[in-house]
Amino acid sequence: MSVSLLEIERAFRQSWGADTTCLDTASLTTWTPDNSAHGQCGPTALVVQDLLGGDLLVADVTGGTEHDQVHYWNRFVSGVEIDLTREQFGPHHIIGEPRVVVRPPGGPRAYAQEYRLLRARVNAALADNQTSRTNIR
């Protein structure tokens, strides 16, 4: 299956939900469809890595009202970075220096259910898109 980065981004945007975030129960009320990227960085970066490979990056985030925030995104072998969820942060947030994270064998331990749900939704959206493109031809 050949898909563009734009198609991948669209698949994520239509797949994000309150049930795919890494937010704890107390913070879940801060997730809204208007800021659908909020709390999605961990599962999103893992699924991007599943689809495209590369490194998983993590950095500390400061300057917000939340405590002990971290942010995940991806870097490819070419050095190009992709961050589909950066928009969740305002101009007052500072994302620190990234470090590479090695995925644990067997997949993520934290938020595994959210990751699996997001992966299934993104794969379904990409398959639907591929079917739509085939039907247009």
Give per-residue pLDDT as tens, 82-122: 999 999 988 888 999 999 999 988 888 888 999 999 999 99
Q: Has this prediction a pTM greater than 0.85?
A: yes
21-39 burial, b at 16+ Cβ within 10 Å, e below that, comes to bbbeeeeeeebeeeebbbb
Query: Would you say residue 55 has pLDDT above 90?
Result: yes
Give per-residue pLDDT as tens, 19-35: 999 888 777 888 889 99
Tokens 């734009």 found at: 6
Query: Would you say residue 59 has pLDDT above 90?
Result: yes
Domain boundaries, the chain: 5-136
Percent of the chain with pLDDT over 70: 90
Count of CB atoms situated within 10 Å of the CB of 67 = 6
